[in-house]
């Protein structure tokens, strides 16, 4: 009884809100196969006509072929115009009716075609039966995802053929008829089991898709949280950098907007130089942004310089200058100590240490604190050196008047190849007007 109930449930192909997603997927699966099914039918049908050509009236064969081709034409038009319409119950029910109607009519065309064109010779009868069995087997595999169409096509094809075979009333035809009935039962059962397998597969696919959607949502949520946390950490890091740099600045009241100017200078230089083969590998987008954010830390070591020297109103003595020259080492050591507390080397702090330690090095090796020369000086320090000197030149000090922009440019070009990397000096020369604009935008009040 349960099996019979399942059969009629599948035959109805009932669609409601509870099973709409599953039914729509079954219909879409059949729609994807529909062109292949139609092409297969339209290839098979002329072969059937050719097989019957010498034993049946030609005009009836051509009439049968014309009618079934007209049916296929209607099927093609329906598929082309409505194949996307499986979004709601009404559209799915419409496609279910189309499938059932077309399958029933085409199956009966085959069934009654065999009934009408049934050959007299036993060999041709067996050949025709084999052709019909092949069609039935193909129908089982291609139509199983829509049981009403499967049952309609199979019964429409097989019942007339079975009836015609058994009408002969001899032992051979009774045996062939019994074989056909057995084959029909096997195909019906196979189609039912195949449909159940397809339903389980679709159900599993839907469950996996649902789980995937949940996982994707969780990943997006966690990614959003991580991005938010990363942004928070980045903001805290940037604020900390500015706070540390401002701490050094408050002990050197003459610097004014020095931090904003120098970090903007260094970014302008980096953007200009990133196309140069000597600098291309280092001056990535991330490193340029790091240079901009870390430039304010170049004088962090001044925190360790005594006030009597740092705030002296006038020029430093040689002894005092030697103490002042310690600030790159003090800043570099402080940042190195911070970096050593991390489990792995940190690119960001490494660049900060290069800037703090090396921004007073000179291209010819006469700088301090290490006396580095040429390419031994880190790129970050070479850029910072020029930005720092330019700003020092144009800024007012108790011991000097500010240089004009033209005077500062001339001074830097004079130091090309001695104080400054020649390529960095050349880059500065090509964007000197940008330096002027930056200096005016962030000029001391």
* pLDDT beyond 90 at 285: yes
pLDDT exceeds 70 at position 255: no
For 249, other C-beta atoms within 10 Å of its C-beta total 20
CATH code, domain carrying 345: 1.10.3210.10
Query: What pLDDT, on the 0 to 100 scale, is given for residue 256?
Result: 53
**Statement to judge: residues 23 and 125 lie in one domain:** yes
pLDDT confidence tier of residue 270, bands split at 50, 70 and 90: very high
Specify which of 11-25, 117-131, 246-260, 311-325 reaches the highest per-range mean pLDDT.
311-325
Over range 186-214, report the average pLDDT.
68
Residue 229 lies in a domain: no
In this prediction, residue 251 has a pLDDT band, given cuts at 50, 70 and 90, of low
Domain boundary among the residues 194, 218, 242 is at 218
Residue 273 and residue 149 in one domain? no
Lowest pLDDT segment from 68-77, 277-286, 370-379: 68-77
CB atoms near residue 19 (< 10 Å): 15
Q: Cα–chain-centroid distance for residue 99?
A: 38
Same domain, yes or no: 274 and 338 = yes
CA distance 167 to 379: 99
Check whether residue 410 and residue 295 sit in a common domain: yes
Residue 433 domain boundaries? 251-441
If asked whether residues 289 and 409 sit together in one domain, one would say yes
Let me know the angle formed at the C-alpha of 316 by 351 and 260, rounded to the nearest 5 degrees: 35
pLDDT (average), residues 392-408: 87
Q: What is the mean pLDDT of residues 256-268?
A: 89
* 80 within a domain of the structure (yes/no): yes
Q: Output the pLDDT for position 419.
A: 96
pLDDT at 203: 63
Q: Write down the pLDDT at residue 337.
A: 85
Q: Which of 197, 218, 239 is the last residue of a domain?
A: 218
Closest CA to 101 of 141, 31, 148, 68: 148
Dihedrals phi, psi of 420, to nearest 5 degrees:
-115, 150
52 and 162 belong to one structural domain: yes
Structural tokens at position 279: 């600098």
Give the 3-state DSSP-derived string for the chain, with helices as H, strands as E and coil as C. Answer: CHHHHHHHHHHHCCCCCCCHHHHHHHHHHHHHHHHHHHHHHHHHHHHHHHHHCCCCCHHHHHHHHHHHHHHHHHHHHHHHHHCCCCCCHHHHHHHHHHHHHHHHHHHHHHHHHHHHCCCCCHHHHHHHHHHHHHHHHHHHHHHCCCHHHHHHHHHHHHHHHHHHHHCCCCHHHHHHHHHHHHHHHHHHHHHHHHHHHHHHHHHHHHHHHHHHHHHHHHHHHHHHHHHHHHHHHHHHHHHHHHHHHHHHHHCCCCCCCHHHHHHHHHHHHHHHHCCCCCCCCCCCHHHHHHHHHHHHHHHHHHHHCCHHHHCCCCCCCHHHHHHHCCHHHHHHHHHHHHHHCCCCCCHHHHHHHHHHHHCCCCCCCCCCCCCCCHHHCCHHHHHHHHHHHHHHHHCCECCECCCCHHHHHHHHHHCECCCECHHHHHHHHHCHHHHHHHHHHCCCC
Give the pLDDT mean for 394-406.
85
User: How many other C-beta atoms are found inside a 10 Å radius of the C-beta of residue 250?
Assistant: 10
pLDDT at 410 over 90: yes
Q: Do residue 184 and residue 288 come from a single domain?
A: no
pLDDT category of residue 354 using cuts at 50, 70 and 90? very high
238 assigned to some structural domain = no
Q: pLDDT at position 406, please?
A: 94
- Express as a percent the part of the chain with pLDDT over 90: 29
Kindly state whether residue 106 falls inside one of the protein's structural domains.
yes
Q: Which long-range contacts (CB under 8 A, 24 or more apart) does 258-261 make?
A: 258/391, 258/395, 259/295, 259/296, 260/442, 261/391, 261/438, 261/439, 261/442
Structural domain includes residue 237: no
Residue 231, domain member (yes or no): no
- Under the banding of pLDDT at 50, 70 and 90, the label for residue 381 is very high
Residues 134 and 282 in one domain: no
- Between 118 and 405, the more confident residue is 405
Distance (Å, rounded) from C-alpha 357 to C-alpha 330? 8
> What average pLDDT does range 339-348 have in this prediction?
79
pTM above threshold 0.85: no
* Residues forming a β-bridge with 420: 416
| Residue 339 resides in a domain | yes
Q: Which residues pair with 397 in a beta bridge?
A: 400
Instruction: Please give the average per-residue pLDDT across 57-69, as a whole number.
Output: 90
Examine the pLDDT at 244 and tell me if it is beyond 80.
no
Domain boundary at 167, 194, 218, which?
218
Q: Is the pLDDT of residue 405 over 90?
A: yes
Q: Are residues 60 and 109 in the same domain?
A: yes
Would you state the pLDDT for residue 210? 72
More confident residue, 184 or 308: 308
In a domain, 411, yes or no: yes
Taking residue 15's Cβ as centre, other Cβ atoms within 10 Å add up to 21
Widest pairwise Cα distance in the chain: 131
Rg of the chain over CA atoms, in angstroms?
A: 44
- Whether residues 282 and 209 fall in one domain: no
Q: How confident is the model at residue 236 (pLDDT cuts 50, 70, 90)?
A: low
Contacts of 45 (CB under 8 A, 6+ apart): 65, 68, 69
Residues 183 and 262 in one domain: no
Q: Tell whether the model's pLDDT for residue 187 goes beyond 50.
A: yes
Give the contacts of 16 (CB within 8 A, at least 6 positions apart): 89
Looking at the structure, do residues 302 and 351 belong to the same domain, yes or no?
A: yes
Look-up of token digits 């279910």: 96
Tally of structural domains, the chain:
2
pLDDT category, 408, cuts 50, 70, 90? very high
Average pLDDT, the chain: 83
Per-residue model confidence (pLDDT) at position 1: 47
Q: Is the dihedral of CA 293, 295, 301, 307 positive or negative?
A: negative
């Amino acid at each position: 009884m349960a099996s019979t109930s399942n059969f009629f449930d599948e035959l109805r192909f009932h669609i409601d809100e509870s099973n709409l997603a599953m039914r729509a997927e079954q219909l879409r699966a059949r729609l994807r196969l529909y062109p292949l099914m139609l092409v297969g039918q339209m290839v098979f049908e002329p072969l059937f006509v050719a097989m019957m050509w010498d034993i049946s009236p030609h005009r009836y064969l051509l009439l049968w072929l014309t009618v079934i081709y007209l049916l296929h034409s209607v099927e093609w038009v329906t598929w082309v115009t409505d194949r996307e319409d499986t979004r709601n119950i009404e559209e799915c029910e419409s496609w279910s009716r189309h499938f059932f109607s077309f399958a029933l009519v085409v199956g009966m065309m085959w069934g009654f075609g065999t009934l009408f064109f049934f050959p007299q010779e036993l060999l041709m009868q067996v050949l025709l039966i084999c052709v019909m069995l092949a069609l039935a087997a193909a129908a089982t595999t291609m139509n199983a995802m829509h049981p009403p169409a499967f049952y309609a096509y199979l019964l429409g094809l097989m019942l007339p053929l079975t009836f015609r075979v058994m009408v002969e009333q001899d032992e051979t035809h009774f045996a062939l008829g019994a074989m056909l009935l057995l084959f029909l039962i096997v195909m019906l059962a196979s189609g039912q089991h195949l449909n159940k397998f397809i339903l389980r597969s679709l159900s599993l696919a839907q469950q996996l898709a649902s789980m995937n959607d949940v996982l994707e949502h969780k990943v997006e949520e966690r990614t959003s949280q991580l991005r938010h946390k990363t942004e928070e950490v980045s903001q805290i890091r940037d604020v900390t950098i500015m706070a540390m740099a401002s701490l050094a600045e408050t002990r050197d009241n003459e610097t004014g907007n020095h931090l904003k100017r120098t970090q903007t200078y260094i970014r302008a230089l980096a953007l200009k130089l990133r196309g140069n083969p000597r600098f291309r590998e280092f001056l990535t987008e991330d490193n340029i942004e790091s240079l901009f954010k870390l430039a304010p830390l170049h004088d962090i070591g001044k925190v360790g310089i005594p006030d009597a020297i740092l705030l002296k109103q006038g020029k430093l003595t040689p002894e005092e200058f030697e103490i002042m020259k310690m600030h790159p080492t003090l800043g570099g050591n402080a940042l190195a100590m911070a970096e050593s507390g991390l489990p792995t080397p940190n690119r960001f702090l490494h660049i900060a240490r290069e800037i703090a330690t090396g921004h007073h090095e000179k291209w010819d090796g006469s700088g301090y604190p290490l006396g580095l020369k040429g390419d031994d000086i880190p790129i970050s320090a070479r850029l910072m050196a020029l930005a720092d000197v330019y700003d020092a030149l144009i800024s007012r000090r108790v011991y000097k008047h500010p240089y004009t922009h033209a005077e500062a440019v001339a001074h830097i070009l004079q130091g090309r190849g001695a104080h400054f990397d020649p390529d960095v000096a050349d880059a500065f020369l090509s964007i000197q007007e940008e330096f002027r604009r930056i200096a005016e935008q962030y000029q001391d009040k």
